[in-house]
Amino acid sequence: MKKYSAAAEDSTIQESQGNNINDDIKNIINNFTGSYNAFPKMRLRRLRKSEAIRDLLQETHLSVKDLVFPLFVQEGIDERIEIESMPGIFRFPIGETLKEIEEIVSLGVRSIVLFGIPSKKNDTGDISFDNNGIVQKATKMIKDAFGDKLVVITDVCLCQYTSHSHCGIIKNNKVDNDHTLSTLSKIALSHAIAGADIVAPSAMMDGQVKTLRDTLDRNDYQDTLIMGYSAKQASSFFSPFRDAAHSLPSFGNRLSYQMPFTNSREARREIMADMEEGADILMVKPAIPNLDLIYTAKQTSLHPIAAYSVSGEYSMIKAASINNWVDEVAAVTELLTSIKRAGADIIISYHAKKMAEILACKKN
């Protein structure tokens, strides 16, 4: 152990006339042989001694600018309907969406991700790329009203539109990758035509980002961004969403296309594939069970990283807070901040409105 202070005669503290340094302290200082980066020299509690110091040293700052609010728009309803498994979250008729977005924007949240719930479905989900489909109509109306003041992201997938609720086209009882790609690119193009700023393919088909980029560019939509649902897992935490969006598969499950939650190396390959295919933004989903994957994605790429804190993550916190088992404000703040700390630049969350309110009244 290096001896720091007692070695050099001239650096020791001498008791001179009129200077009344206590002997004990003098001895401690002069004979200290330990590390200055360990107790008792290092005292981390110094960093926490007042609120002002804690604020000064705060490393992660969540901002309302980081937040994206998911919005469900449903065809064929006249008033908003609360989603049973997601208290406080609603499906909106197209006529009520502008009012809702007004409120979102007034809280400072300037991005939404739109999910459509059509009134008719079929085997191949053709209504998903209809220029008069629910998402296309809503996007156009919202962009006409808000223009560049609001970022509209659209989810590009088939599960809400197919009668079997799988994310792709079925051939020989299997979800067929390449047939699905051509439908996904039609959906994305129809969203871009309607004015979507960002299209977000979530079907977990191989090559979906590349196919969308090619289609958009061929049709002069070079300026439409693509946010890849890059590492999207088959997760139990999507259950409330399937309740909300009527998209529970009628047979089988999504394990042949969504990722297993056990595999982080494979998640990295998905991330790298979307980088290669031209994604502008990479996403990890769900968020809280995957803070390690968010961190790794951030280290692996120079792209903005989005994290989707999904329906089940919302419902768990909401249910616990309704029961007063956790404090909603504190729990939401802690969880969303941890997602940012892990490396997410963009946080998609059903708590976004609540978080915006919290940020507005506390300075976080």
Binding mask 188-207 for ligand PBG (x = CB under 6 A): --------------x-----
Which of Zn ion, ligand PBG, none does 155 bind, CB closer than 5 to 8 A by kind? ligand PBG
Q: Which residues within the stretch 11-40 sit at the binding site for ligand PBG (CB under 6 A)?
A: none
Single-letter amino acid code for the residue at 162? T
Tokens of 99: 């009012």
Residue 285 annotated to the active site: yes
> Is the CB of residue 156 less than 8 Å from the CB of residue 212?
yes
Catalytic residue among 121, 285, 298, 353: 285
Q: Is 347 exposed, middle or buried (0-12, 13-18, 19+ CB in 10 A)?
A: buried
Which of ligand PBG, Zn ion, none does 257 bind, CB closer than 5 to 8 A by kind? none
The nearer residue to ligand PBG, 24 or 203, going by C-beta atoms, is 203
Tokens of 52: 């002002």
> Is the CB of residue 139 less than 8 Å from the CB of residue 184?
no
Q: Is 165 in the site for ligand PBG (CB under 6 A)?
A: no
Q: Is 29 exposed, middle or buried (0-12, 13-18, 19+ CB in 10 A)?
A: middle
Q: Which residues within the stretch 272-311 sit at the binding site for ligand PBG (CB under 6 A)?
A: 310-311
> Is the CB of residue 287 less than 8 Å from the CB of residue 344?
yes
Residues in Cβ contact with 209 at an 8 Å cutoff, skipping those fewer than 6 apart:
201, 226, 228, 273, 274, 277, 278, 279
Q: Residue 205 and residue 201: Cα distance in Å, rounded? A: 9
Residue 65 annotated to the active site: no
Binding mask 202-231 for ligand PBG (x = CB under 6 A): x-----------------------------
Nearest-CA neighbor of 297 among 312, 285, 313, 309?
285
Q: Is 66 in the site for ligand PBG (CB under 6 A)?
A: no
Range list of H helices, 23-133: 23-31, 51-57, 94-106
Q: Which residue reads 């969350």 in tokens?
A: 349
Catalytic residue among 121, 137, 210, 232: 232
Q: Is 159 in the site for ligand PBG (CB under 6 A)?
A: yes
Q: Which residue reads 């979250």 in tokens?
A: 89
Q: Is 69 in the site for ligand PBG (CB under 6 A)?
A: no
**Among residues 66, 155, 274, 277, the one that binds ligand PBG under rule CB under 6 A:** 155
**Among residues 167, 273, 306, 317, the one that binds ligand PBG under rule CB under 6 A:** 167
In whole angstroms, how close is the CB of 346 to ligand PBG at the nearest point? 15
In whole angstroms, how close is the CB of 354 to Zn ion at the nearest point? 26
Q: Which residues bind ligand PBG (CB under 6 A)?
A: 155, 157, 159, 167, 202, 238, 241-242, 247, 310-311
Active site members: 232, 285
Q: Which residues bind Zn ion (CB under 5 A)?
A: 157, 159, 167
